[in-house]
Amino acid sequence: MKKLLGVLLALFMFCIPMGIQADEEVLSFEYTGHQIEIKGAFAYYLLDDGIHVSEAPMDCGRYRAIYSDGSNIEYEITPKVVHVKVKYNKDWRPGDPEENRYLCEYDGDYEFILSSYVNGDFKTDYDDNYKFEFEPKNKKDVEIVKTTITHPDVEYVYTGSDIVIDSKVDSISPISFKNVGEYIVSFNVDSNYYESIPFKVTILPKTVHLRLNKYQKYVGEKDPVLETDDYILTREVGEGVGNYKLTVKSKSRNYKYEIIENDIFTILENKLQQIKPEVTNHPSNDEKKEPLHSVNTSNKDKIKHAGASDKNTSINIETKANKESAKTEAKVVTGVSNLTSMYYLSMISSIAVIMYILIKKKNVKS
């Protein structure tokens, strides 16, 4: 019994150094795409496949290198680790291939299709000699990044036609404007994939230059019409003789009018009026009609003209401004003495005197 225990103890003590030596002799190499030779070995044994080969292995696996003296050493070739950063493809849309939903960033020239397990972990069916480590590991942890649509602030002048602003993205409809104004806008986008940053659109009125006709009136008259279908003219306040500045206001916000000629409204003195006296006998066609001189009147002054004929007829002319009509009106007032009765009396007296003289001469001759 003691001998048996001694043998077991010897074996145990012998096996421990052997195990440690074996662990120390196991080598590990990362896959390089080239054969990995063990110096001094003349043959190799593929532990996973159970076959002997004369050439050094290249692919990943566990191997035993055999020396000519019969000794050996075990080693392994491990997959090359490829670190892959996974990002969301912001241009992906429903209906596109699922493998295009994510973008991969890594060092090296590898062509692989990214897929995922049922639990969402990423995987790829690539050469077993490579081990892809994804960050993040699961697709639920990939941040969905939206496409940002930006546009600079813009300024236009009204043209009468639509002004179209395009986002330069085919799936996003452009924005159109027409009338003058200042707008803060953004494109109508699918919020699941896009974010449109607001921007300002300014449409300025179109400038139209006006060459006006001369506007004027006489004191007391009403102003002429200072309005068209497109704009309204306004003059400075005042009714006295002189010049008044004209300004213009557009009826449409899409147009801005500027007066470049005849921007003055003029008020003149009263019109000169012809004054005709009242006459008893109308002159014949051969007689010359002498008009009276025009009289220029004001609201305060009165001018009187007097004249005497061979029959001592006096005519008084008085002018007066008509305040209600705001137009100067000359009023002629004619004063005639009791000419008719005196004339007939004088005629009868003359006839009586003549008849008396004639009768007296006749009696003298008799």
- State the average pLDDT for the chain: 77
Residue 348, domain member (yes or no):
yes
pLDDT band with cut points at 50, 70 and 90 for residue 364:
low
pLDDT at 330: 34
Q: How far apart are CA 151 and CA 175, in angstroms?
A: 12
313 vs 185, residue with greater confidence = 185
Q: Are residues 264 and 225 in the same domain?
A: yes
Q: Are residues 252 and 215 in the same domain?
A: yes
Q: How far apart are CA 115 and CA 139, in angstroms?
A: 10
3: pLDDT strictly greater than 60: no
pLDDT in tens, 42-94: 999 999 888 999 899 999 999 999 999 989 999 999 999 999 999 999 888 88
Residue 314, domain member (yes or no):
no
pLDDT in tens, 116-146: 888 999 999 888 999 999 999 998 999 888 8
- The mean pLDDT value for 147-169 works out to 93
pLDDT at 26: 65
Share of the chain above pLDDT 90, in %: 52
Cα three-residue angle 255-257-263, rounded to 5 degrees: 170
Residue 293, domain member (yes or no):
no
Which of 141, 164, 191 delimits the end of a domain? 141
Burial of 158 (0-12, 13-18, 19+ CB in 10 A): buried
pLDDT band with cut points at 50, 70 and 90 for residue 270:
confident
pLDDT at 341: 62
- The mean pLDDT value for 297-308 works out to 36
Which of 246, 268, 290 delimits the end of a domain? 268
Cβ-based neighbour number of residue 321 at 10 Å: 20
Residue 323, domain member (yes or no):
no
pLDDT at 212: 93
Q: Are residues 198 and 241 in the same domain?
A: no
Q: Within the chain, how many helices (H) and strands (E) appear?
A: 2, 25
Q: Are residues 199 and 215 in the same domain?
A: no
CB half-sphere exposure, 157, CA atoms < 13 A:
5
Residue 92 in tokens? 């992906």
pLDDT at 313: 34
pLDDT at 328: 37
Q: How far apart are CA 115 and CA 128, in angstroms?
A: 16
DSSP 8-state assignment for residue 225? P
180: pLDDT strictly greater than 60: yes
Q: Are residues 191 and 223 in the same domain?
A: no
pLDDT in tens, 221-234: 999 999 999 999 99
Residue 330, domain member (yes or no):
no
71 vs 308, residue with greater confidence = 71
Helix (H, G, I), strand (E, B) or coil at 230: coil
DSSP 8-state assignment for residue 91? T
DSSP 8-state assignment for residue 142? S
Q: Are residues 161 and 199 in the same domain?
A: yes
260: pLDDT strictly greater than 60: yes
Q: Answer for the pair 315, 295: CB distance below 8 angstroms, yes or no.
A: no
Q: Report the domain count for the chain.
A: 5
24: pLDDT strictly greater than 60: no
- Of the ranges 199-208, 238-247, 272-281, 300-309, which one carries the lowest mean pLDDT score? 300-309
Which of 115, 141, 167 delimits the end of a domain? 141
pLDDT at 366: 54
- The mean pLDDT value for 164-174 works out to 91
Residue 284, domain member (yes or no):
no
309: pLDDT strictly greater than 50: no
pLDDT in tens, 10-22: 444 444 344 334 3
pLDDT at 11: 46
297: pLDDT strictly greater than 80: no
Residue 8, domain member (yes or no):
no
- The mean pLDDT value for 196-200 works out to 95
- What is the domain extent for residue 198? 147-204
Backbone angles phi, psi at 110, to 5 degrees: -130, 140
pTM: 0.46
- Of the ranges 182-186, 190-194, 222-226, 327-331, which one carries the lowest mean pLDDT score? 327-331
Residue 325, domain member (yes or no):
no
